Amino acid sequence: MAKKLKIGIVGGTGYTGVELLRLLVLHPHAELAVITSRGDAGLPVAELFPSLRGLVSLKFSDPTTADLTSCDVVFFATPHGVAMSQAQTLLAANVKIIDLAADFRLQDTATFEHWYKMPHSCADILKDAVYGIPELYRDDIKKASVIGNPGCYPTTVILGLTPLLELGLIDFSAPIVADCKSGVSGAGRKAEVATLFAESSDNMKAYGVMGHRHHPEIHAQLSKLAGDKLDLIFVPHLIPMIRGMLSTIYVKLNTTAKAADLQALYEKRYANEPFVDVLPAGNMPETRYVRGSNQLRIALQPQLGTDYLTIVVVQDNLVKGAAGQAVQNMNILFGLDESCGLQVVPLLP
């Protein structure tokens, strides 16, 4: 591609916004054109984020006056509700939309309105939006105009279970249990008592136990893959680290699964996926194995003497769980190499 893609980012001051900037600034086919911020309009991006000094010369634009219609693609790293308020105007100008919030993740508007406490303002656009997990919906993403970038927890749970669901290997007489843990950056870049250092450091807690917004998203995608009704228990936890996510998933296997080589099944399913790595039998992933990268790593462990399988999945919640997956979707949308701009080696230590 000779001509670079003109990129707009709405909400460039949050953690997913700056992560998009980190990945896109060195992307060979991307040109940062507009970066908006309601609170920091006029401020040089590199002044707020010195890590980008010498790389980004733009200033933040006021979202009320910024011209996003001149972009090829606009990323929304914003609170829920912002993308759908601007979608009609952007689509009329033939601009692709990748929303990192929940506006286009749930096809059922009643479910969206129940969990997000706001009306869905563009159901006509929603019906054509594509849920952006490339490993599942790559062909649909290629033809899409609007991508609902998946939530961080859902990415780990869905990809952790896909091979079993596709082949009908789960016994749904028992619920699927997803015990998930995320670093504090998953709460966003805002001032909150719960994420103060003295509150979150040296501490661990479950939250959203009575119901978390990612539950209906996970349940909808798992049910779609299974073609059947299923029960899901999903409990997220906050762990005292900045970035990283580890999900431990427990499933009951059916009779067919007991005769299958599950390790080989997973390795075959993800053999051609550049960002999903199935670890050798007996190895367990750690969050540091993926830190700063778009990699998602999976391990399997049968529970001896039972019909249950434990699946452990790790990812960087800000990369494969958010901005990295968004860039991966952009690459697919515009016919680029899917790994372009995402070949980042995890940081260790």
| Domain residue ranges in the chain | 5-128, 153-317
The total number of residues shown for the chain amounts to 349
Please provide the CATH number assigned to the domain covering 5-128.
Answer: 3.40.50.720
pLDDT of the residue at 2: 65
Does the annotation count 152 as an active-site position? yes
Q: What is the pLDDT along the chain (349 residues), one digit of tens a residue?
A: 568 999 999 999 999 999 999 999 999 999 999 999 999 999 999 999 999 999 999 999 999 999 999 999 999 999 999 999 999 999 999 999 999 999 999 999 999 999 999 999 999 999 999 999 999 999 999 999 999 999 999 999 999 999 999 999 999 999 999 999 999 999 888 888 989 999 999 999 999 999 999 999 999 999 999 999 999 999 999 999 999 999 999 999 999 998 899 999 999 999 999 999 999 999 999 999 999 999 999 999 999 999 999 999 999 999 999 999 999 999 999 999 999 999 999 999 8
CATH number for the domain running over 153-317: 3.30.360.10
Cβ atoms of 291 and 285 within 8 Å: the answer is no
Q: Which residue of the set 71, 122, 152, 180 is catalytic?
A: 152
Task: Give the model's pLDDT for residue 3.
Answer: 86
94: left (phi over 0), alpha (psi -120 to 50) or beta: left
Instruction: Quote the distance between the C-alpha of residue 2 and its chain's center.
Output: 29
Q: How far apart, in whole angstroms, are the C-alpha atoms of residue 73 and residue 97?
A: 6
| Gap between the Cα atoms of 186 and 250, Å rounded | 23
pLDDT of residue 261: 95
Is there a contact between 89 and 64 (Cβ–Cβ < 8 Å)?
no
Distance CA 31, CA 184 (A): 30
Q: pLDDT at position 190, please?
A: 84
Residue 259 confidence (pLDDT): 83
